[in-house]
Amino acid sequence: GDSVTQMEGPVTLSEEAFLTINCTYTATGYPSLFWYVQYPGEGLQLLLKATKADDKGSNKGFEATYRKETTSFHLEKGSVQVSDSAVYFCALSDQNRGSTLGRLYFGRGTQLTVWP
Amino acid sequence: SAVISQKPSRDICQRGTSLTIQCQVDSQVTMMFWYRQQPGQSLTLIATANQGSEATYESGFVIDKFPISRPNLTFSTLTVSNMSPEDSSIYLCSGGQTYTEAFFGQGTRLTVV
C-alpha cells in the first residue's frame, strides 16, 4: 500500500545552517506530495506541496522537488532560523490527478531544533 | 482558512476508562478526520466523519473502540474507550472540504497508566 518513509530525528542545527530532511514514498498511480509543519502548541499546517513529477513546492524559504525516478520529496532550506524549530511531516495523497478525494498518508515526523 | 480547537490538549487516564476528545471548527466543513500518532510511529488516519452519516473507519480501527460523533458541520468528538497503555498517543482532529484541503487542531496528548 501507499506509505511514506521519513528521515529519523531529531535534527539539531545552528542558525544559518543548511537543512535537508529526507522523505521517500511508495505509491501507485500519481500521488501528490506534501510537507506539513507543526510549531510548538499549534496544529499541523501545510508548508508546501507538489502535484506532479518534477514540480517544486516552495514556501518560507523551504523547497522540495517531486522526484518520481527516486520516489523522493526531500525538504531543504538554505539557511535555517531559530523560528524554524518545529516538527516536519512528509505526506502523500493517493488522489489521482484531477481528483480531490484522496486520503493522506503521513510519515512519522522529524523534530528540528535550531540553536542561535 | 479554518481554525480548529481541540480539547483537552493533554490528559492522563487510568486504564479501563474512556476519554472523549472534542474538536470545534470556526466554520462549516464537509469532512472531519481523526488521526492517531503512537510513539515513534506515523500519523495514521483513524476515521472520516461526515455529518448525518456513520463515520468511516480505516483498517485496524473499530467503532466500539473509537466511537465518533458528528452532530453538525462544525463539531465532532472521538471517544477512546476502555483504554489500555497501548492507546497512549497523540490524537489529532482535522476538518475541511477534502483530505488535502483540511486544517488541523493542535492535538491531544493522551497517556494511559
Residue A99 has pLDDT above 70, yes or no: no
Report whether pLDDT(A97) > 50: no
B25 touches chain A (CB under 8 A): no
Lowest mean pLDDT among A54-58, A92-96, B8-12, B28-32: A92-96
Is-contact A112 A84, C-beta < 8 A? yes
Q: Do A93 and B6 touch (CB under 8 A)?
A: no
Write down the pLDDT at residue A100: 47
CB < 8 Å to B4, chain A:
43
Q: Which residues, including other chains, have CB under 8 Å from residue A93's CB and lie 6 or more apart?
A: A31, A32, A33, A34, A102, A103, A104, A105, B99, B100
Residues in chain A within 8 Å Cβ distance of B101: 100
* Mean pLDDT of the region A91-114: 79
CA atoms within 13 A on the CB side of A90: 29
Whether B41 sits inside 8 A of A108 (CB atoms) is: yes
Q: What is the dihedral of CA A27, A28, A31, A35, to 10 degrees?
A: 0
Q: Residue B30: pLDDT above 70? A: yes
**Contact residues on chain B for A102, CB-CB shorter than 8 A:** 99-100
**Residues of B with CB below 8 A from A43's CB?**
4, 6, 92, 94, 103-107
**Which residues are registered as beta bridge partners of A91?**
A34, A106
pLDDT of residue A87: 94
Closest-CA residue in chain B for A93?
B100
- Which grid cell is B94? 482535522
**Which of B37, B100, B106 is nearest residue A93 as measured by Cβ atoms?**
B100
Mean pLDDT across chain B: 92
pLDDT of residue A98 exceeding 60, the answer is no
- A-facing residues of B in 85-104 (CB < 8 A) are 92, 94, 97-101, 103-104
* Interchain CB distance below 8 Å, B99 and A42: no
